[in-house]
Structure 1
Amino acid sequence: MYLFAAIFGGIAAVLLFIALIVAVLRLKSQLIFDIYPAKGVFYQLKYIIALWLVKRLRNKVYYTKDELNSPEFHAKIDRPQALGDDPQSYDVISFMGANDEGAKLIITLERRRRGVLKACLYLYLPEHGLFCTPKLPDMLYFTTDGKRENDEFKGCGFHVYPEESMRQWRIRYEGEMRNATDERKLLPVRLNMQFTTQAPFFYYNRDLSSAVIADSVAREAWNDAFYNLLKHVPEMVEKRKHYDQSGRLVGEVQLAERCFQLELRGFRDHSFGTERCLSNINRYVYVVLFLEDGSSMVVGNLSQPAFFLSSLKVGYVCTSQGVYEPITDCNYELYTYGEKGTPPRHKNFFVYTAKDKYLVQIEEQQSTVRYMGSDWSSKVYNQFVECTVNGKRGQGITEYLYKNKQSERPESVSASDPEWYKRVKSYERNLSKRKEEQNEVFLF
């Protein structure tokens, strides 16, 4: 009798303890600016659990797969990707570069269904100023009649393509550019550059530090919606592939009557999948720095509360030998840098890897604005900056994305859109109002 009572009492105590643990994990941390969760009282417990789960999952999914290092896999992911039937299919390639003299380059091309191309090109020359493609701050281009797909990063003067998987990409642009502060004067331009590298690639799904993922997850409330999301994490991750690669950008730019030979330390970013929804992103910041000793640094912080990642820090330090050291911690918090909608001109913060600690000091030289999304759902500031990292001087680019509360492309911009695209956007608006239309294809 007493034995059974002791057993049942022990079971009840264990169940009560489990119930208390579950209740603790569900607690919501204090929110900073009603968005960013602070580290709660039980943060350390949640961090330990999250770190164990992340490491276990990644070891099972990535570290046991030799195919990720095979030439076949490299060739498969390092080319323009086929856009599937999913209306959210996307394929994005970006390049950034800078040299010690202060010249800087940004080019981004995003392929979408029906030949839609979202593109930007910035060229910063210290003695001549900042130049950009004429259509900016709008990034929307149309490369087909809407009935055909575009299977290349090509159109409207752009052509970016791989010459050798994970080793060489060609970047070409022939068209016009203007000074970023003067919309009137257009200059003819021909850009022909090559990105080359011997470095491996940094595959975010596999190589991002487990510590920064655990930190972000441990700040969130582990409620029913969170547990439901966990069930679908493997398939959701597979829908979003993203990798970076450090290298060099070398080539020539003919701007009007002037010719510039450029040699830049470079960075390449390629991401593709079926779920790139800017409207779900609250904010993000990316900092890309190129230092005088040949090393580079990528630091970011992403706020996507809908995905239970209200403050996810990402990035790495790449040595001059092309070795990536993932960031394990950083005191760069979004709410302390430009939360009111304007990026700060000066930034100082610490970055940590498993081996080192870095003091990063940044000063803006010039800034510009562009809009992302078919409805201008996001506003992006690009800053062209000088920096010092642990006493080493460098040059770089920062990118601040904000959710655009006035998310609608102005009529003065959208008036020149092709008729088929206007019908699609009208269809989307009707869907948002729970109306239905026939004989149209949902695009974005």
Structure 2
Amino acid sequence: MGNGQSRKVHQTDWNMYILTIICLSLGLVVALLSLAMLLLSRKSMLIFGKYPCKGIFYWLKYGIALLVLRHLRYRIYKRNEELLSSPAHLATLDRPQPLTSDPKSYDVVSFVAANAAGQKLMVTLERRRLGVLKAALYLWLPGEGLYSSPKLPDMVHFTTDGKEESSEFKGAGFHIYPEQSMRSWRLKYDGKLVKQEKEQLLDVQLDLSFTSTADHFNYNRDLSSSLIADSIAREAWNDSFYSMLKSVGHIVEKRTHYEQNGELAGNIVLGERRLALELRGFRDHSFGTERCLSTINRYVYFALLLDDGSSMIVGNLSQPSFFLSSLKVGYVRTPRGNYQPITASNFELYSYGERGTPPQHQNFIVYTAEQQYLVQIRVEHSAVRYVGGDWESKVYNQFVACTVNGIPGQGHAEYLYRHNEGRPETVAAQDPKWYQRIKRFERSLSNMDLVNETEEFIF
């Protein structure tokens, strides 16, 4: 064999050797990736079968989740900061939102307020398709008790004949509207309230102005990344989880929630009396299409207003279908108006009211990057309302006094639980015929029955 042929044989052998090494390396990488994905998909131990503990690969998953979250937030918010903070964008964001053809389309505005004297107010209006309005009003006056909307615990009201959409927060005696975007809103109610203890029905005229005292806190943008990463790192990273990740950008775009701190002042005529109200509180605005209550296991939410001018939001959400079995949320607003996101908390859902009855006292610790806060809460009174067109959730509204690091304050708490008994027929029988027909249509879909496909669909 000549030298040329020998070199060709050696070159061929060398190429085959290199190819073999590459194939073996790729196979090893694929095997290691498969093993890693298999290990990451393992479920952590669950408390009460719902709340995952930190698994053996928690810190690896936490680090990955933190990097991905920071990248997403940079791509969606940070590099678009100039546009997202422009007056034109904020004006669009802060007005009543047009409801889309999506049956889950929603638009919600709420106010939670209190003062050092212990007076407390909670108002929420949720616009849904075809003029359906979910509304609630609570007024707590020390020494007198609780006044509330007469239809509660049911929140469903109807502002149209079912043939047109609403375009503002108006109906059932309410009218809430922005006067200056991200600056002031007007809250009016002309109707009746029930004094719960005496079941006494009173004529009421409420006229309050909310004036913001700080910038808005956007939950998608401003929540601590470490809190979200902690929740995600506890979950099993299985095929369903990776499928959800592919659409997370789309999901974020379909769900907006922001809050502002401010002052709520004005007058209320309660029966024969006229009262001046001066409160500090929160306004929140939520809208989108990704707000299906039937997927939420539980949540707890505290809104606290302290005598030194600071305030605090602390919450914990359990939504396992969205791979957030225990997501802690919240922030502290300093007396100077600065928001400090909560970075950790020892408030665990399984320790507080897991059996369906909220506790009357709660003590827990929350952390920001700057400080640690010991929160002590005492419930003064509570009331129940049902949320959703089919009463998918039961909410305990608590009116509380609190102490945070020794500073007294007042506030509200909400404990939400799944409710599987539906909306009672005695309540539903009072609904307009067109709404009853729609609900029958939805139940038929749920039961996989043959239905008229031209019927409307609304959650």
Q: Same fold (TM over 0.5)?
A: yes
For the residues of structure 2 that align with 1:360 and 1:56, how far apart are their CA atoms?
33
Give the number of the structure whose alpha-carbon radius of gyration is greater.
2
For the residues of structure 1 that align with 2:319 and 2:150, how far apart are their CA atoms?
31
Deviation at 1:199, TM superposition (A): 1.0
Structure 1 length as normaliser, TM-score?
0.97
State the match for 2:165 in structure 1: 149
State the match for 1:347 in structure 2: 362
Deviation at 1:410, TM superposition (A): 1.3
Q: Does 1:431 align with 2:432?
A: no
Structure 2 length as normaliser, TM-score?
0.94
Task: Tell me which amino acid in the other structure corresponds to 2:282.
Answer: F
Q: Check whether the contact 2:211–2:264 (CA below 8 A) recurs between aligned residues.
A: yes
**Any idea what SS the aligned residue of 2:49 has?**
coil
For the residues of structure 2 that align with 1:309 and 1:326, how far apart are their CA atoms?
18
State the match for 1:285 in structure 2: 300
Which range is displaced more, 42-51 or 434-443? 434-443
For the residues of structure 1 that align with 2:163 and 2:179, how far apart are their CA atoms?
29
Task: Tell me which amino acid in the other structure corresponds to 1:340.
Answer: R
Q: Check whether the contact 1:180–1:368 (CA below 8 A) recurs between aligned residues.
A: no
State the match for 1:167 in structure 2: 183
For the residues of structure 2 that align with 1:328 and 1:177, how far apart are their CA atoms?
40
1:87 is aligned, of 103, 107, 110, to 103
2:261 is aligned, of 243, 246, 255, to 246
For the residues of structure 1 that align with 2:425 and 2:334, how far apart are their CA atoms?
47
**Any idea what SS the aligned residue of 2:185 has?**
strand
For the residues of structure 1 that align with 2:213 and 2:409, how far apart are their CA atoms?
22
For the residues of structure 2 that align with 1:209 and 1:269, how far apart are their CA atoms?
18
Residues 389-443 of structure 1 show CA distances to partners (whole Å, capped at 9, x for unaligned) of 111110010001000021x111221111000000000111111111232241112
**Any idea what SS the aligned residue of 2:440 has?**
helix
State the match for 2:59 in structure 1: 44
Q: Check whether the contact 1:330–1:349 (CA below 8 A) recurs between aligned residues.
A: yes
- Residues 10 and 77 of structure 1: CA distance in aligned 2, closer, same or farther (over 3 Å): same
2:285 is aligned, of 270, 277, 280, to 270
State the match for 2:150 in structure 1: 134
1:232 is aligned, of 247, 272, 275, to 247
For the residues of structure 1 that align with 2:343 and 2:423, how far apart are their CA atoms?
39
Q: Check whether the contact 1:289–1:297 (CA below 8 A) recurs between aligned residues.
A: yes
1:326 is aligned, of 302, 317, 341, to 341
Q: Name the Cα RMSD after superposition.
A: 1.3
1:418 is aligned, of 424, 432, 435, to 432
- Residues 430 and 6 of structure 1: CA distance in aligned 2, closer, same or farther (over 3 Å): closer
For the residues of structure 2 that align with 1:17 and 1:353, how far apart are their CA atoms?
38
Q: Check whether the contact 2:40–2:236 (CA below 8 A) recurs between aligned residues.
A: yes
For the residues of structure 1 that align with 2:213 and 2:48, how far apart are their CA atoms?
44
**Any idea what SS the aligned residue of 1:234 has?**
helix
Residues 13-34 of structure 1 show CA distances to partners (whole Å, capped at 9, x for unaligned) of 4443323221221111111111
For the residues of structure 1 that align with 2:213 and 2:94, how far apart are their CA atoms?
14
State the match for 1:97 in structure 2: 113
For the residues of structure 1 that align with 2:290 and 2:220, how far apart are their CA atoms?
15
Task: Tell me which amino acid in the other structure corresponds to 1:165.
Answer: S
Task: Tell me which amino acid in the other structure corresponds to 1:334.
Answer: L
State the match for 1:364 in structure 2: 379
Task: Tell me which amino acid in the other structure corresponds to 2:57.
Answer: F
Deviation at 1:367, TM superposition (A): 0.6
State the match for 2:9 in structure 1: none
For the residues of structure 2 that align with 1:43 and 1:11, how far apart are their CA atoms?
27
2:93 is aligned, of 67, 74, 77, to 77
State the match for 2:77 in structure 1: 62
Task: Tell me which amino acid in the other structure corresponds to 1:55.
Answer: R
For the residues of structure 1 that align with 2:77 and 2:212, how far apart are their CA atoms?
24
Q: Does 1:294 align with 2:334?
A: no
For the residues of structure 2 that align with 1:237 and 1:80, how far apart are their CA atoms?
19
Q: Check whether the contact 1:359–1:390 (CA below 8 A) recurs between aligned residues.
A: yes
Task: Tell me which amino acid in the other structure corresponds to 1:94.
Answer: S
For the residues of structure 2 that align with 1:6 and 1:425, how far apart are their CA atoms?
64
**Any idea what SS the aligned residue of 1:64 has?**
helix
For the residues of structure 1 that align with 2:77 and 2:316, how far apart are their CA atoms?
23
**Any idea what SS the aligned residue of 2:426 has?**
helix
Note the 1:11-22 alignment, pairs <5 A.
11-22=26-37
2:207 is aligned, of 180, 188, 192, to 192
Q: Check whether the contact 2:145–2:197 (CA below 8 A) recurs between aligned residues.
A: no
Deviation at 1:322, TM superposition (A): 1.5
State the match for 1:122 in structure 2: 138
**% identical aligned pairs:** 59
Q: Check whether the contact 1:201–1:245 (CA below 8 A) recurs between aligned residues.
A: yes
Q: Check whether the contact 2:99–2:107 (CA below 8 A) recurs between aligned residues.
A: yes
Task: Tell me which amino acid in the other structure corresponds to 1:222.
Answer: W
For the residues of structure 2 that align with 1:171 and 1:32, how far apart are their CA atoms?
43
For the residues of structure 2 that align with 1:424 and 1:378, how far apart are their CA atoms?
20
Q: Which runs of 5 or more residues in structure 1 are unaligned?
A: none
For the residues of structure 1 that align with 2:237 and 2:198, how far apart are their CA atoms?
51
For the residues of structure 2 that align with 1:124 and 1:339, how far apart are their CA atoms?
26
Deviation at 1:6, TM superposition (A): 6.2
Give the number of aligned pairs.
Answer: 442
Residues 328-364 of structure 1 show CA distances to partners (whole Å, capped at 9, x for unaligned) of 1111111110000010111011101111111111010
